[in-house]
Amino acid sequence: MSNKLINTSEIGLNVNRRSSCHFTIMIFFWFMMANFMNLSSLNAQTFDDSKPASTNVPGAEYPKIDSQSRVIFRFKAPEAQKVQIDLGKKYDMVKNTDGFWEVTTDPIVVGFHYYSVIVDGYFAVDPSSQTFYGMSRNASGIEIPEKGVGYYLPKDVPHGQIRRMNYYSNITKTWRVAYIYTPAGYDAKTKEKYPVLYLYHGGGEDETGWPNQGKTDFIMDNLIAEGKAKQMLIVMDKGYATKPGEVTGTGQGRTPSTTLEEVVIDELIPLIDSNFRTFSDRKNRAMAGLSMGGGITMRITMNNLDKFAYIGGFSGGSRINAGEEINTMYKGVMADPKVFNEKVKVLFFSTGSVEGPRVKESSEKFKIAGINNIYYESPGTAHEWLTWRRSLHEFAPLLFK
């Protein structure tokens, strides 16, 4: 047996040190857990800030858009082997245990975009989304909110109406549809007449493009309420017309024939003037269009300057072909710039800044040739509806001054 004395004070000190160490470890552990919980909560909040898209069908929770403009898609296809979302690029979806496929996209550019769900190679519409006619077929569409911008959103202002008009064309031997925007108070002001803007869609789209994707009524309601644009009618007709037996290609994306010009000049304009209270002279008539519709606009108006005084081409209509002289274009209507400028009160060209320099270069060439024109560039947008909404918002206040 050892005769060494046990120092109880040392024992107590060691015990205290061990207790202190354990206490420190516990504090560190709880600190880490608290941070982990806060991080988890933050991640949950990031996910939870997503909201159903405004373009969803009533009651549909998905697709959802978060604060970073990412889209969260959820699609039920329990028997499918592969599902993708095609929105600018293709995103592979992941299947969960309930048979739902899910994916979160990269941040998407603000504005309206068509998209498709690809199920085992088949392009389908999303049943949770409204459908829009584009890409030469019905497609799903999604609106990515543009923060702080409301010129194309409904506001507490007097609202006009968009009316559907069916009419029979003796030229094409078919029934056609046109949509007509009438400003607030049109039905009450029975003695008032209005100027008219004819507005055309792009390739692969139809007469529903401007009323639906373009938000024409809200843009005009807001401009008129702010005193920035005159009250006017806007006629949105189909940009295709063919006579019986006439072949110009396949699908709604085909190149329009000159038959459309006949329909517009000989049938549509007289029909509008006889069924609505309009000023029927050229100084109260305008035409504009986007992309293909810009080409339609230039061709029809340049051939009929006795009927139009305002012309707009949004991402289209300004093309000057290689070797082409401006003074010989459209049968020489611009050969005398002074005469042309007196006739055409506004010649307007626009494009998205991402579309490239072609429209701007054409605008400058027209100016060098003495042809007055106004150029507008939509910042940060490509060949898309946000460019064309902005273009209408800039063009409409220039009309009928």
Residue 373 has pLDDT above 60, yes or no: yes
Of the candidate ranges 43-47, 185-189, 219-223, the one whose mean pLDDT is the lowest: 43-47
Residue 154 has pLDDT above 90, yes or no: yes
DSSP state, residue 278: B
Residue type, 203: G
Percent of the chain residues past pLDDT 90, beyond the cut: 81
Residue 150 has pLDDT above 80, yes or no: yes
> What value does the mean pLDDT take over residues 83-100?
95
* Domains of the chain, CATH where assigned: 51-144 (2.60.40.10), 161-398 (3.40.50.1820)
Q: Burial letters for 343-379: b for 16+ Cβ neighbours within 10 Å, e otherwise?
A: ebbbbbbbbbeebeeebbebbeebeebebebebbbbe
- The reported pLDDT for the residue numbered 31 is 46
Task: Tell me the pLDDT band of 256, cut-offs 50, 70 and 90.
Answer: low
> What value does the mean pLDDT take over residues 223-232?
98
Task: Tell me the pLDDT band of 43, cut-offs 50, 70 and 90.
Answer: very low
- The reported pLDDT for the residue numbered 257 is 67
Over the chain, what is the mean pLDDT?
A: 89
Residue 14 has pLDDT above 70, yes or no: no
Collapsed DSSP state (helix, strand, coil) of residue 399: coil
Structure tokens given for 12? 């107590």
Collapsed DSSP state (helix, strand, coil) of residue 244: coil
DSSP of 194-206: B-EEEEE--TT--
Collapsed DSSP state (helix, strand, coil) of residue 40: helix
DSSP state, residue 228: S
This prediction's pTM: 0.86
> What value does the mean pLDDT take over residues 3-32?
45
How do 346-352 and 310-314 pair as beta strands? parallel
* 278-288 per-position pLDDT tens digit: 999 999 999 99
- The reported pLDDT for the residue numbered 8 is 42
- The reported pLDDT for the residue numbered 3 is 43
Nearest to 380 by CA among 352, 351, 338: 352
Distance CA 15, CA 21 (A): 10
